[in-house]
Amino acid sequence: MYDLYYWTGIPGRGEFVRLALEAAGAPYRDMARIKGDGAIEALADRVSTPSFAPPVLTDGEFVIGQTAAILLYLGPILKLSPRAAKPRLWAHQIQLTIADFVVEAHDSHHPVGAGLYYEQQTREAKRRAREFREARVPRFMDWFETILARNPTGSTWLVGRRPSYVDFSLFQIVEGLAYAYPRLWAALADGYPLIGAHRARVAAFPALQPYFRSKRRLDFNEGGLFRHYPELDA
């Protein structure tokens, strides 16, 4: 049984871990939803290797922070990453790039500081969001479209012939982008047919259907990483 620690109320970075666990049918407990957000601080107080911030996954004596590190650990166990070292490292590289995109998506609405309200930095956010829309999103999406096209196995997944944890993570950021910037994504989507098809495949992934229908799958909202402010989606 895995224990996952992440803030209640938002999908956030914890959702990337949840999607992998759910896709693999792995048993886990969402500890903050059971015991409240205080469970996260309580864990940090009692371990010798406290993580900087959640998500944190515990598995027996293992206490792992950082989304990409958690998924690197879980991948082989859950059979959601290649066995060979080279493609396994490639999957990790993709996940780290996804983490870069998540930071840029967050900073498009909080460019000055995470500790400030959006309303305290709206003017700066409009400027940052324009750069995000016009330059950064196309650059990332171009890369994801390219690596989908160049999978040497000819598979429609990102790495190898089978779905891996990075496939579920790519799905999550495209879902988040479509929520936060619906006008932008509507304008761009036709230019990325492989990403669109990939998104549809993950949305229909059989093992994820019970989770998608459940209350455990949280909606995006204006407290999370991907936030919809219409003025930023100009």
* Residue entry with tokens 């109320």: 9
pLDDT in tens, 178-225: 999 999 999 999 999 999 999 999 999 999 999 999 999 999 999 999
> 94 and 73 in one domain?
no
CATH number at residue 61: 3.40.30.10
**In whole angstroms, what is the distance from residue 107 CA to residue 8 CA?**
21
Categorize the per-residue pLDDT at 234 as very low, low, confident or very high, splitting at 50, 70 and 90: confident
pLDDT in tens, 111-120: 999 999 999 9
> 194 and 133 in one domain?
yes
| 104, two tokens | 């840029």
**What's the pLDDT score for residue 15?**
98
Nearest Cα neighbor of 17 from 81, 75, 102, 76 is 75
Average pLDDT over every residue of 135-155:
97
User: How high does pLDDT run on average in the chain?
Assistant: 97
Q: How many structural domains compose the chain?
A: 2
**What's the pLDDT score for residue 210?**
98
> 89 and 49 in one domain?
no
**In whole angstroms, what is the distance from residue 126 CA to residue 39 CA?**
36
Average pLDDT over every residue of 97-123:
97
**In whole angstroms, what is the distance from residue 35 CA to residue 106 CA?**
27
pLDDT in tens, 147-171: 999 999 999 999 999 999 999 999 9
CATH number at residue 185: 1.20.1050.10
> 112 and 199 in one domain?
yes
Query: Three-state DSSP class for 1?
Result: coil
**What's the pLDDT score for residue 211?**
98
Query: Three-state DSSP class for 46?
Result: helix
Categorize the per-residue pLDDT at 34 as very low, low, confident or very high, splitting at 50, 70 and 90: very high
Nearest Cα neighbor of 109 from 127, 135, 94, 85 is 127
> Where does 16-114 show beta strands of DSSP type E?
28-30, 56-59, 62-65
Q: Please indicate, yes or no, if residue 36 is contained in any of the structural domains.
A: yes
The DSSP annotation for 181-192 comes to: -HHHHHHHGGG-
| 4, two tokens | 């996952």
Q: Please indicate, yes or no, if residue 217 is contained in any of the structural domains.
A: no
> 92 and 69 in one domain?
no
Q: Please indicate, yes or no, if residue 222 is contained in any of the structural domains.
A: no
Nearest Cα neighbor of 183 from 139, 137, 221 is 137
Q: Please indicate, yes or no, if residue 213 is contained in any of the structural domains.
A: no
> 194 and 144 in one domain?
yes
Residue-range definition of the domain harbouring residue 191: 85-205
Average pLDDT over every residue of 6-28:
98
